[in-house]
Amino acid sequence: MAKPTDLVQGTLDLLILKTISIEPKHGWGIAKRIQQISEETLQIQQGSLYPALHRLEQQAWIKAEWRTTEAGRMAKFYSLTNAGRKQLGKELASWNRLSTAINLVVQEV
């Protein structure tokens, strides 16, 4: 199981921002979504997910509100702010740069 420390530094922020850019999600939903999309490769631990969410909220990149889930329970839903959308763009760009660079190195024959 990939621990968050195995993730490249700062990647978790990118994953979270990207995941909630489509629609607001609660913490559990974010973790599940990342797990599904990554075909079970990325398992986000609660112990890193929630502190990251609180940090991003504190940065005013995401905002939280309490809403009812489909099952009728109250949960804290996170969505992107405008600043967060800009930040996502920045992080995506830098991720692309980084992954391209790493690919160049590891694929060199």
Between CA 12 and CA 8 the distance in angstroms is 8
Between CA 92 and CA 28 the distance in angstroms is 23
Of 67 and 97, CB closest to another protein: 67
Q: Is 33 in the site for another protein (CB under 8 A)?
A: no
**Could you say which of 83, 93, 101, 102 contacts another protein (CB under 8 A)?**
83
Of 83 and 102, CB closest to another protein: 83
Q: Is 54 in the site for another protein (CB under 8 A)?
A: yes
Non-local (6+) Cβ contacts of 85 within 8 A are: 21
Between CA 96 and CA 66 the distance in angstroms is 34
Chain residues that interact with another protein, rule: CB under 8 A = 26-28, 45-48, 50-52, 54-55, 57-60, 63, 66, 73-76, 81-83
